[in-house]
Structure 1
Amino acid sequence: MPLQSLKRLLETPQRFARDPLLFRRAQLLNFILLTLTALMSVAALFNIVIIGDSRLALIELAMVVAILLALWRFRRHANLHGSAWLASSSAGAMLLYLIVHTEGDTNPYVLLLLYPLFVYPLHGLRAATIAYLLFVAAVLAIFVYGWAHWSISCPAQTLFNITTALLIGGGIIYYYEHTREEALNRVRTLSMTDPLTGIWNRTMFDEMLAREIAKTGRHQRCFSLILLDLDHFKQINDTLGHDVGDAVLREFARLLATRTRASDGLSRWGGEEFALILPDTSCQQAEQLARDLLETIREHRFPTVGRVTASLGVGTFRPGSDRDAFFRAIDQALYRAKRQGRDRHAMSDDDRTAD
């Protein structure tokens, strides 16, 4: 039982798993919070029993309390940013206190290089750079104060060495984080988008659909969905080749993107099928958009093939609706539009009944 509890504590909350960058930050934060709790607890005990420094021990115990609060917020409320700032601020304050407590002893300065090692992965480049520059400024300010009040041999040389180490160490970690974030962002973009058309793929469609369904339950609002299928697309591939077919798909995605809002979710469902999620959109608004899209598609001239048409299935998700039944109804509406002659839209049975 204790081993299972420890295993659960070491595991990163899976609510961050969808975003590789956030998941890595969450993993690091979880590790740092647990490690700092253990280290500061041991340090407080060591300072009380061995060193006899009760003041430092109390500060370390206060830090343990702050870190436990951050850990609770992180695991209970999935609060990544607030918990990360609480952890990095506590660690930074502790490092600064060590400098003051030892009155300029050079040994604690080695620990200062630990600060950028976790502040950059925790906060990202921009916020971490601001935090680190403030930290460096605080270190230098403390040292300048100590120059006049502490017994430091060769203070100018010590100040130079510390400043150089902090700036070079922080610069190296900044560069590493910059290249790592770029790589992760490329991976994230590839995992979210369709490589041919550049719009969202089916995975992102499923995620946005789940979010909109959840919002519908919380706020009692509806959203609409349009499924689009290019008519006779197989003939284009068979007669003109797949290169022409791919060009038509890219142009079709571009054309749809020009007629949608920033809040709408346009994705390639598969093959020549596309899906358009319309947040906070009623049945009547979705049907009007379907008519406008059909007219836009009819008037457009595609590369090589000229005129292309599409069939649309339209439906509205209301509070209390079933996800599978909702999607199945729109899919049936799409095929009904095709059976009725294509180049038209059809409403789902639920929406026709509502009308």
Structure 2
Amino acid sequence: MQRFFLYIILFIAAFLVFGWYFSNITSYLVISLILAALLRPLTNRLHDIHVLGWHIARWIAILLSFSAILLLIFLLSLLFFPLINDQIEILAGLDLETIYAQMQGPLDTVEVFLQRNKLMENQPGYLLNEIKISVIDAVKNIDFGGFIRDFIGLTSGIFIGIMAVFFITFFLLLENGLLRRNLLDLIPNAYFEISVATFTKVEKLLSNYLTGLFIQLLSIFFIASLGLSIVGVEYALTIALFAAVANLIPYAGPLLGTAFGIIVGLSTGIFPTEQDYTYFFIKIISVFAVVQITDNVLLQPMIFSKSVKAHPLEIFVVIFAGAKIAGVLGMIFAIPVYTIFRVSVMELYSGYKSYRIFKIKA
């Protein structure tokens, strides 16, 4: 029995080292497993359809499922095209001299305060002049050649990642459980029952977790879009969609969604006076405050604590460990991966205490 647990520990250690060293491949595999789990019900339903007395071939059902996902992504992207176009027009129409003139008043107030308290001895207009010099230096130091190379490298990396995910997902859907059956065939009969129980429990918890995330995404999108529409923010649906997707990133995501909403809302609004500008800013902040209170009080306890049956402190530590290992992707996939290992260890421990076969082998 001790040898068996030693093998388990060595396998987990080897898996972690492999996942860290080949982080790209591991991320492709994890994303593919999640995507396959989401598409399997639709694929099975399409595969069961009869056309002229014949089943739709499974590979055709898979391609139709992929087409549905691509169509959904295309329709969602249509929400962002008008916003991107407006932002480009805003940036193209920026007049730096007008911006400098608007900054002159607040900067003069800061300079008077600094000089009065003997914190600065420069002539009036020094801060504005330094800002102008910094902007000019920043523009001059932009390496457009390096930026283009980085952009091409990023684009090619994203394309390769998408192709790899679709390729792996296609075969995961095509084999329809064959991988799981092959893995179970490798397990000795003495540990078969525990292994099946572990697989079943992991699948159930991950299914609950994915369902909870979907409910969280829809809830945040609904609340944010409704609130932003009520306060009169343009592109409320686009901002709400971005905030809902960004919220999948633990801790940093809500801040990112709020910042995006504030920038877009203020840049596309019309404010006759500075008071209107401030009031509109407060309204946007209030909407996102309601969203986060709802998410933290209702949604996250339901998803994290109940679906994966883990303590909030566990979740906190696991997420930051995932961020240390693999950045943003590590934060997103930390909970599913932790759930797999946690359930596996608990089932093995339970089997060690309950199953007589372990004691015979020991």
TM-score normalised by structure 2 residue count? 0.28
Query: Which has more helix, going by share of residues?
Result: 2
Higher relative contact order (CA 8 A, sep 6+): 2
Tell which structure's C-alpha radius of gyration is larger: 1
Hey, which of these two has a bigger chunk of strand by percent? 1
